[in-house]
Chains A and B, each alone.
Chain A
Amino acid sequence: MDEILEKGPGDDIREYLIFTVDKIEFGIDIGLVQEIIEYQEASPIPNMLDFCSGIINIRGTIVPVIDMRRKLGFESRVYDDRACIIVITLRSELVGMIVDGVQDVARIAPEQLSDSPAVRSQGEIKPFTSKIANINGNIKQIISIEAVFDVELDGEF
């Protein structure tokens, strides 16, 4: 059903929100992104795991926030006012991800995507990256939501 609906010229091009973590450009399927908000300090939760920053209040909704620097294995640092929280919808709940900055939205065609090479210099990035987009020599790593957030989703993102 959905398959039929999504077919059609031009529909294979997907839009990705491009953000940076430690000067590396990453992309996330824009369909998942609910909103982008300014960085704010999160309230801690009991027995919090390393990559989690705690919870924030977005208009009355409690939203868990994860720190992408720590999740992707970069050094953590104090965030400045360029840092943002990308709020995504994950299995009908909101989850936030803190990133160094948000750049723009890129339209990426399937032929510009390739599977992540098996070995990456950053080592830790690999399991969290599902595809590599090459836009005129400009490389963006498409993150795997399932890997980063440790969930199973329907469909491919």
Chain B
Amino acid sequence: MLDAYIYETQQLLEALENTLLAGENGQKLDADQIGEVFRIMHTIKGASAMMEFEELSILSHKLEDMFTLIREGKDPGAAWPALFDVMFSSVSFFNAEMAKLLDKQTPNGDSLPLRERVEVLIRQIEGEETTPEAPEAPEGAGAEEEAVDAAAEEAEMNTTEAEAEDAQAEPAAPAADSAIYKATVHFEKDCQMENLRAFGIVQVLQKMNVRLSYLPADLSASSAAEDIVNNGFILYIQTSESPAEIKAVLDETLFVKAVTLSPVGEDSEDIPIEMRTQPEAKGQGADVKPAAAPAVETPEVKASAPETPPAPEAEAASNGNGDAAAAQVNNGMTSFETVAKQNFISVNVNKLDSLLNIVGEIVTAQSMVVNNADFGDRPHESFDMAAQQLHSLINELQDIVMSIRMIPMSTLFQKMRRLVRDMSRRFGKQIQLEVIGEDTEVDKNVIDYLSDPLLHIIRNSVDHGVESPERRRELGKPENGRIILEAKMTGSDVVVTVTDDGAGLNKDKILQKAREKGLLTKPESELTDREIYNLIFLPGFSTKEQVTEYSGRGVGMDVVRKNIAYIGGAVSVDSTPGQGTVHTIRIPLTLTIVDGMKFSVGKMNFIVPTVNVLSAIKPSPEDVFKDPEGNEMMMILGKVYPLMRLSRFFNIHDTVTEIADGMIMHLSSDERDFCIFFDHLDGEYQVVVKKLPSYLEKCSSNLQGIGGCAILGDGSINLIVDVNGLAAEC
């Protein structure tokens, strides 16, 4: 149940955000969009209330109220920018609460600050309308009406004209032998809108042969519901029907808890005056045509205010039209969406993962079958043909499965739009984000891994790249800065670039920092500009100097590089001083299949991605020696590399210890080349990469150096070596 709630709310929030972003360019929402936002807030409100997430439901209620006003034709005018701000903040608030729920936490955020902002806006929107337009049709009709009502209903108990008309409009008026009953109706506790429930009773009774009078007389008054809760709904019913009949009607009404019905004497003090002066009432009623319908349409308005100017009624009518119009607008829009949606189904990602896993295993199993077939010297043409066909079918299957997992970058880019919008506001910058190629499709996993690095890069561009409008003016640049976010396919890679027209990177500062931190590996004079710029990706380069709400959090560009490297991608940066910076992220289209070399240490099996392997060597003991600190080193072709015994690093028992009995692999990582020592090399494989279960962190004291795992065709589990992780430890 909670899952359904979260899922649906998140979908609605996404749609809401898109609508808001679409509207903000034009600085306002059009009627379609207003209807859409209203409907979304309404649905979230209802669902949140059912789940008893009070903060969420009252906030959405407030927002719904605001959009009710707008939908009814009040133009926020100058308040639009503030309104967009509040809406975006609210979307963030809801999203944060959904995240908490997903995390099995209580959604405990306080929506009060947001609600206060909405209150201010509502007042503003209501105020704006009155000033320029229609002083004759006062807004906030509810309040006005009530004021008038109060005056009109001084005499509390009243058979109001309209009701009398309705009653009399029935073909047969109560016969002379009719009796008068007093009924008191109590509704169930907390059933809400008691005044309308009473209104429902009145409607049903009026279809019968009765005359009615009731208390509270004005069921549309703001106090009516409360009155009914406290005192019950009191009716005087003059009818020739049997009391049992009347009682049945009352009892059958939904949420009626108790009914008392008793006859009252003709001249009892209790009886309202109107009922005592029957002839007069009848006379009035006779004038009325049996056309009860139009009068019934808005009886409360008529009833409450015989002396009021026609304004409220006109208002009510126009409200009605507004609603209808909005509803129609809604219709047009959603029917289009529905058509588009029907060709799609949503699938749980876990199912896609298992599908991919199985296909991966089929690939492996296929190669085992084909390679194991032992025909001796006999020809085996038909087997070869079948094997060939199986091979191409499996390839096709693999392609289809991969393509199912592909999703467009647009959601990710949408997130960036929002980020740029929020940040430029916060930093007083004017930045336009241009998005190109958002329909480029990549594997779902790639999107997941790409999100954080991209956020980080764009934060940097907004925060440190693009200058303030004043500064840009001084520099003779257009005041509006630009960030271009582009995705495109190049063969088996997707290239995502983030280009800004800001100040560019400061070469001297970067060099200075790299020097201070001892990150330079070759003389400064030999470094190209590009090499200098790319120093920012080195671990330990970023400092906390630049911590701001968006760019900070103590992580730097090295984290960006690490995340992207994890999915087999690369990131680089180039810059022209004064003109801007380009970040280029290159990622493989799919990241789930990897070519690897399999080896073992004791009982543990590992796979190291082939791209990281420089060579595998059967070592002789004289190639290995110790440096003065006692670290083992390996000599390859005259060069010396650190040697890491995996048995020691991973704490594995019962392994080969003599150098001569084991194997050495020469690996390259982003930072350095090094060697590992292990027991046995088992050949080359193509494997589907799986994430390690997160619970494993509780089962091991250190998982550094392990990037994932893979299941081979024989069912065995192999750990995938994270070469960069290992390099950091040796």
Contact = CB atoms under 8 A, between A and B. Distances in A.
Interface in B333-375: 354, 357-358, 361
Contacts of A51: 699
Interface residues of B, number: 38
A19 to B, nearest CB: 20
Given A55-B717, A62-B693, A153-B104, A46 B699 contact: no
Interface stretch (B215-223, B261-269, B704-712): B704-712
Contacts of B2: 1-2
A44 B695 contact: no
B701 A49 contact: yes
A2 B358 contact: no
B699 A1 contact: no
A1 B652 contact: no
Contact of B693 (A2, A48, A64): A64
A46 B605 contact: no
Contacts of B694: 93
A46 B357 contact: no
Interface in A38-63: 43-49, 51-52, 55-57, 59-63
Contact of B696 (A5, A55, A59, A60): A55
Interface in B45-62: 50-52
Contact of B652 (A44, A56, A62, A63): A44
Contacts of A55: 693, 696, 709, 717
B230 interface: no
Contacts of B1: 1-2, 5
B110 to A, nearest CB: 22
A111 interface: no
A57 B715 contact: yes
B702 interface: yes
Interface of B: 1-2, 50-52, 104, 354, 357-358, 361, 602-605, 649-652, 690, 692-696, 698-703, 705-706, 709, 711, 715-717, 719
Given A44-B603, A45-B699, A93-B695, 17 more contacts: A46-B702, A47-B700, A47-B702, A48-B700, A52-B700, A55-B709, A56-B717, A57-B716, A57-B717, A60-B358, A61-B354, A62-B709, A62-B717, A66-B699, A93-B693, A149-B698, A154-B104
Interface of A: 1-2, 5, 43-49, 51-52, 55-57, 59-64, 66, 90-91, 93-95, 149-151, 153-154
26 contacts: A2-B2, A5-B1, A43-B603, A43-B604, A45-B696, A45-B706, A46-B702, A46-B706, A46-B719, A47-B702, A48-B651, A48-B700, A49-B701, A52-B700, A55-B709, A55-B717, A57-B716, A60-B711, A61-B354, A61-B357, A62-B692, A62-B711, A64-B699, A95-B693, A149-B695, A151-B698
